Amino acid sequence: MARSKRKIIPTPQYCLNLALAVIRELIRRDTLAAAIAGRDNRQLEYIFRFIYNNIWRKDAAAVCLELYHCILNTYTAEELMDIRGFVKVNRLLELISSNLYSLSRIVDKIVYQPHNLLQSKSEPVVEGIHSSPLSSSEYSTKCEETSPTKKRRKVNVT
């Protein structure tokens, strides 16, 4: 009996990993620029589509950026402006950069100014306690409050 050969259809993840491995090897051998040079607009469009579709993946981002920088170093701006994929990748990278900048500013506010956040949350509570007509703290000169950090602090009531 003759055995029939089964076709093995590669999965998209396998194809991506294979492409990334080839590009990493070209980077390691320092021959990526030679591999990129001499491409026409249609071939560069495929490369930019690969970058556009895979730059958001954590396992492919570094390779895609290296490939993008290699293309920028190899071709002139006039040559690249004719390629639609180049414009799309540029817009995507600008958007990612803008989002990361905004995110870093938010993180800086949270990390480096935590005392402002805690005070703004605790102050209305103190005012709410003192504004109550039935509160006994109106008659005292001092009031103790538990802060969010579980430490006691004294608040002067005037």
How deeply is 124 buried, as exposed, middle or buried, from its count of CB atoms within 10 A (0-12, 13-18, 19+)? exposed
What's the pLDDT at 7?
A: 85
What's the pLDDT at 6?
A: 84
Residues 6+ apart with CB under 8 A from 14: none
Average pLDDT over residues 59-78: 96
Is the CB of residue 33 less than 8 Å from the CB of residue 74? Answer: yes
pTM (two decimals): 0.64
pLDDT surpasses 90 at 131: no
Least confident of 10-19, 44-53, 99-108, 109-118: 109-118
pLDDT surpasses 50 at 147: no
What's the pLDDT at 145?
A: 43
Q: Average pLDDT over the chain, rounded to whole?
A: 80
What's the pLDDT at 115?
A: 63
pLDDT surpasses 90 at 1: no
What's the pLDDT at 4?
A: 73
Q: What is the DSSP letter of 108?
A: H
Q: What is the CA 59 to chain-centroid distance, rounded?
A: 14
Residue 130 has which token pair? 């003192």
Task: With CA atoms as reference, report the closest residue to 68 among 47, 84, 82, 88.
Answer: 47
